[in-house]
């Protein structure tokens, strides 16, 4: 399978998981079941969902928008990371989508960007950021590195993340998602993908401010046990992830949940559906998990009718970003 196919699988997988999980975002599991029954296709964001009500079916949210924004920031500077460019582009995007007023930003990003807007130092907020804003947007960066380029990958992640998130758990969680994408593109087996994600965490966490977060590697190991024990019972598996690993906006919940679901589902369509019906931070978990499954399965492993929906209902061209990444890799 070509790298082009794998990279397209990553970016479209991310967008599919994000858009499919959007309508149920930040609702608890029982409410998702009562309202939707089961989500099995793209839906409008319900007007009763304070976060999702601004989106219509097939639209991806801030997760994918910010991931593409990171790529824009790299493209703007010939793929050399620049924190100031990331900050500029995040601010411009926030104003464009009215993110400060319409509850689109996560709490850590909103606090940091508000400080920047007010010409204040954002570090008091970034150094305490425990939420998943860094991890949610990092999947495409995994396309730019081989798994053995751990140090370079982590350095890139730090520069691209620290505008809003600069903690050990934020860097570590983001690195685990990017590494999983990289290893999936290399077509490592699923156990090896998870092992490499665990290994990179210890490198990335050392770059950030110390926090008291639960261990993402340990939660992932526990999730992998559940995935094996409940291999033939999707409902019991999903409930266990929801109850024990957690599906909230904390990096220490959503990242191990996403990694575990990718490990369990393997197939991108199955993965996106599991995430959409999970309860909690469904769009973010869906974006991270389905990006990994898309990287492994490749573009041709995605539901092509869903790819068409993404292309139809979003103004940004995912394909153009795939082309830019592939061209950059060809340059070496």
Binding residues: 61-63, 281, 283-284
Burial 77-99 (b: 16+ CB within 10 A, else e): eebebeeebbbebbeebbeebeb
Binding-site positions for Mg(2+): 61-63, 281, 283-284
DSSP state of 143: G
> What φ, ψ does residue 239 adopt, rounded to 5°?
-65, -40
Phi, psi values for residue 276, rounded to 5°? -65, -30
Place of tokens 């934020």: 170
Distance CA 258, CA 268 (A): 12
Burial status of residue 75 (CB atoms within 10 A of its CB: 0-12, 13-18, 19 or more): middle
Buried/exposed code over 36-54 (b: 16+ C-beta within 10 A; e: otherwise): beebeebbebeeebebbeb
- Which H/E stretch holds residue 199? helix 190-205
Residues contacting residue 192 through CB under 8 Å, at least 6 positions apart? 183
């Amino acid at each position: 399978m070509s790298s082009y196919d794998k990279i397209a699988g990553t970016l479209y997988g991310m967008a599919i998981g994000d858009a499919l999980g959007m309508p149920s975002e930040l609702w608890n599991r029982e409410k998702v079941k009562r309202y939707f029954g089961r989500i099995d296709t793209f839906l409008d964001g319900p007007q009763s969902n304070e976060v999702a009500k601004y989106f219509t079916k097939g639209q991806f949210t801030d997760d994918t928008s910010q991931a593409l924004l990171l790529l824009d920031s790299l493209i703007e500077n010939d793929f050399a990371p620049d924190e100031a460019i990331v900050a500029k582009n995040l601010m411009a995007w926030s104003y464009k989508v009215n993110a400060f007023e319409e509850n689109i930003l996560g709490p850590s990003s909103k606090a940091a960007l508000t400080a920047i807007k007010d010409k204040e130092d954002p570090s008091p907020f970034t150094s305490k950021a425990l939420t998943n804003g860094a991890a949610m947007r990092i999947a495409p960066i995994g396309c730019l590195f081989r798994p053995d380029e751990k140090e370079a990958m982590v350095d890139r992640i730090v520069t691209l993340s620290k505008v809003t998130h600069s903690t050990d758990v934020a860097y570590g969680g983001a690195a685990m998602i990017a590494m999983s994408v990289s290893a999936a593109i290399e077509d490592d087996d699923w156990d090896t993908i998870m092992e490499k994600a665990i290994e990179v965490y210890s490198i990335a966490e050392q770059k950030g401010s110390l926090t008291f977060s639960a261990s993402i590697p340990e939660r992932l190991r526990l999730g992998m046990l559940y995935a094996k024990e409940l291999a033939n019972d999707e409902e019991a598996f999903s409930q266990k992830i929801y109850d024990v690993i957690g599906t909230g906006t904390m990096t220490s919940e959503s990242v191990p949940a996403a990694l575990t679901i990718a490990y369990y589902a393997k197939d991108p369509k199955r993965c996106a559906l599991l995430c959409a019906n999970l309860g909690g931070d469904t769009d973010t978990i869906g974006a991270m998990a389905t990006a990994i499954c898309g990287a492994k399965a490749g573009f041709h492993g995605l539901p092509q009718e869903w790819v068409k929906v993404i292309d139809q209902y979003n103004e940004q061209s995912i394909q153009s970003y795939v082309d830019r990444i592939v061209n950059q890799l060809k340059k070496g």
